[in-house]
Amino acid sequence: MITILVLLGSFAFLLAINVPVAFSMILACILALLEHGAIPLSTVTIKLYSGIDTFPFLAIPLFILAGGLMEQGGISQRLVRLASNLVGHIRGGLGFVVVVAEIFFSGISGSSIADASAIGALLLPSMVRAGYPAARAAAIVAASTGMGMMIPPCLNMVVLGAMSNISIAALFMGGFLPGFFMAVTLMALIYWQSIRGLLPGAMHARPPLKETLISIRDSVVPMMMTVIIFGGIFAGIFTATEAAAVATVYAFLVSFFWYKEITKKDLYKILVDTAVMTGVVSLLVGAATGFSWILATHQVPRTIGNFITAVGGGQGLFLLMTIGVFLVFGMVLDGLPAILIFFPILYPIAQAVNLSSLHFAELVIATIGIAIIAPPIGLCLVIICSIAKIKLSDTIQPLIPYTLILIIDLVIMAFWPQMVLFLPQLFKL
């Protein structure tokens, strides 16, 4: 018990004095093992390495690189133009464009931060010029980014699948229906607000068919990347890791030779950014492996499971507790660290109460998607507010209805597992 108190107490203290999350976990592990005395400190090093020594983790740098190439290769502008031509003429106009563009872009970038940066930079100025209050425009972009977490490929899905031996292909497929459901409810809310006069009307008149067809033609090449990834995985041609490699080659050829919008200087920067991001993720995963191992060896998951059993809430209580834990700590720790710390603790309990592993994993990812855009310290919300040049506090009130609708979607997803499981079962993943 004292070892766990040392582990958690030192971790909380180190976070409070702004030590980076990965180093806080590593130092907390060292202090806990020093207090325990019977386990050598070399265990920390062993766990750091073993946490990332799996084949599926090779997909992480490849998906990061592919997303970086596509983001800077002129892809985002073409996808936004397509979304504008498809839904810009509907009441709610630009709000609809944001949601649809997020669906398109999420399936390519794999990163919520990339989504927030690209969509925000492209559409926030246009929304303000069209009459959207800056704070409400930022709230719509933030909510769409949170929803986009469920549209694969998603970096968190890759990491979670690799660390828990859940099929990454099944995670990808399981995210589609919840993601589209969230998108539909967000668009319904935007439409209702537009009817009430809280948002401007249509962005423009219905474009000529020729213009729409041109935007579809211009988007075929970038959208083919999604077809390659999912078509190859679900047809059994290659694994998710191999799909990441194929996607990287395709993204390079399209961005460097087809669109010619990436220079050698840009390519160097993308490679450096990929290396840095891969290092950050790998260090987090390795540190979390050691942290979770100490918790597991001291029976923390079993203790929590026994408490839930004693209370008698069963699956319902555990699902609500999971949502609460990841909403709170997803804001405080950001998305990936919260997954790496708490998923290994709660996963054995989910199995003990007979929850589907895939359903539980998707619920965690969806909750993190909301947490990173939730005020007051959601990471993506901070990024969007900086792009919009507004105070974060200004977005809290406009963001409340969008956050509430996403949380309602989350609860429906929690208690209706077939929303997640239908497509993976249909494709026998």
Residue 164: its H or E element: helix 155-164
Cα angle: 191, vertex 196, 198; to 5 degrees: 85
Question: What pLDDT is attached to residue 177?
Answer: 95
Question: What pLDDT is attached to residue 176?
Answer: 92
Q: State yes or no: pLDDT of 399 exceeds 70.
A: yes
Of the given ranges (16-30, 293-307, 321-335), which has the lowest mean pLDDT?
Answer: 293-307
Average pLDDT score, the chain: 82
Q: What's the DSSP call for residue 58?
A: G
CA 86 to each of CA 59, 70, 97, 144: distance values in angstroms, whole numbers, following the listed order:
33, 22, 8, 17
Mean pLDDT of 56-63: 77
Of the chain, the percentage scoring pLDDT greater than 70 comes to: 92
Question: What pLDDT is attached to residue 109?
Answer: 63
Q: State yes or no: pLDDT of 407 exceeds 90.
A: yes
Three-state SS at 203: coil
pLDDT digits (tens, 9 = 90+) for 125-147: 878 887 888 889 899 999 998 89
CA 146 to each of CA 150, 367, 383, 407: distance values in angstroms, whole numbers, following the listed order:
8, 9, 13, 11
Provide the pLDDT confidence category of residue 188 given band limits of 50, 70 and 90: very high
Count CB-CB contacts under 10 A for residue 149.
30
Q: Are 276 and 270 in contact (CB under 8 A)?
A: no
Cα 115 from Cα 276, distance rounded (Å): 18
Cα 54 from Cα 45, distance rounded (Å): 16
Question: What pLDDT is attached to residue 51?
Answer: 65
Q: Which phi and psi angles does 356 have, rounded to 5°?
A: -65, 130
pLDDT digits (tens, 9 = 90+) for 194-216: 888 777 765 556 777 787 788 87
In our burial notation (b when 16+ CB lie closer than 10 A, e otherwise), range 203-223 reads beeebeeeebeebeebbebbb
**What are the structure tokens assigned to 271, written together?**
């490679």
| Longest Cα separation, the chain | 74
Q: Where exactly are the structural domains of the chain? A: 61-290+299-426
Question: What pLDDT is attached to residue 332?
Answer: 72
Q: State yes or no: pLDDT of 335 exceeds 90.
A: no
Of the chain, the percentage scoring pLDDT greater than 90 comes to: 15
**Identity of residue 34:** L
pLDDT digits (tens, 9 = 90+) for 24-45: 888 888 888 888 776 777 777 7
**What are the structure tokens assigned to 163, written together?**
């660390």
pLDDT digits (tens, 9 = 90+) for 264-320: 888 888 888 888 888 887 888 788 778 877 877 777 777 776 776 676 667 888 899
Q: Are 319 and 353 in contact (CB under 8 A)?
A: no
Q: Are 410 and 217 in contact (CB under 8 A)?
A: no
Cα 411 off chain centre by: 18
Provide the pLDDT confidence category of residue 411 given band limits of 50, 70 and 90: very high
Provide the pLDDT confidence category of residue 107 given band limits of 50, 70 and 90: low
Question: What pLDDT is attached to residue 68?
Answer: 78
Burial class (CB in 10 A: 0-12, 13-18, 19+), 121: middle
Three-state SS at 354: coil
Question: What pLDDT is attached to residue 405?
Answer: 94
Of the given ranges (69-73, 186-190, 352-356, 398-402), which has the lowest mean pLDDT?
Answer: 69-73
Question: What pLDDT is attached to residue 415?
Answer: 94
Question: What pLDDT is attached to residue 361?
Answer: 94
Of the given ranges (314-318, 365-369, 401-405, 410-414), which has the lowest mean pLDDT?
Answer: 314-318
Residues 6+ apart with CB under 8 A from 374: 146, 327, 330, 331, 381, 399, 403
Q: Are 118 and 105 in contact (CB under 8 A)?
A: yes
Higher pLDDT, 422 or 87: 422
Question: What pLDDT is attached to residue 87?
Answer: 74
Cα 128 off chain centre by: 26
Cα 364 from Cα 178, distance rounded (Å): 12
Q: Are 73 and 114 in contact (CB under 8 A)?
A: no
Mean pLDDT of 178-186: 94
3-state secondary structure 135-159: HHHHHHHHHHHHHHCCCCCCHHHHH
pLDDT digits (tens, 9 = 90+) for 346-376: 888 888 888 999 999 999 999 999 988 887 6
Q: State yes or no: pLDDT of 333 exceeds 90.
A: no
